[in-house]
Amino acid sequence: MTRIGIYPGTFDPITRGHMDIIRRGAKLVDRLVIGVTTNPSKSPMFTLPERLAMVAREVADVDGDIQVVAFDALLMTFAERQGASVIVRGLRAVADFEYEYQMAGMNQQLNDRIETVFLMADVSLQPIASRLVKEIAMYGGSIAKFVTPAVCEEVVARVEKLGRKGD
């Protein structure tokens, strides 16, 4: 039986922190499905098709069976459709844990056959958050430490198109 894991997120943009969790998560399952989702509470910088392409490009050289799939449904519904038995989530700080703990509990109520596995982000990557990467870029700061060179170029180009703040 193939063990399938889901790593969900908006990936707007995908960061080095996300990549760390993807590399490590891919070792835990036979297939890792990266679920790129919409989130009504967030205002994405990149469209869903742009984020799908960005994530697919970034994970192309990662070892393992990795698929990048869009979804706009409850996570557990998506996981069931993918045949997943594991949800992979990354943790950066205590605040992440509180939110993720609550979500894992709710998800367990929806389907107790799917386990949530938490991976601690590498210490050097713990402060990285897509929201902060975008904010730094919008104010003209360097994001090169937080994302790959290709993602950096895409974010900088988008910021130039949108207009930088603080000018």
Query: Which are the catalytic amino acids?
Result: 18, 42, 92, 130
Nearest alpha-carbon partner for 150 in 25, 8, 16, 37 = 16
CA distance 86 to 114: 5
For helices 130-138 and 149-162, give the axis angle rounded to 10 degrees. 50
CB-based contact 155:13 (threshold 8 Å):
yes
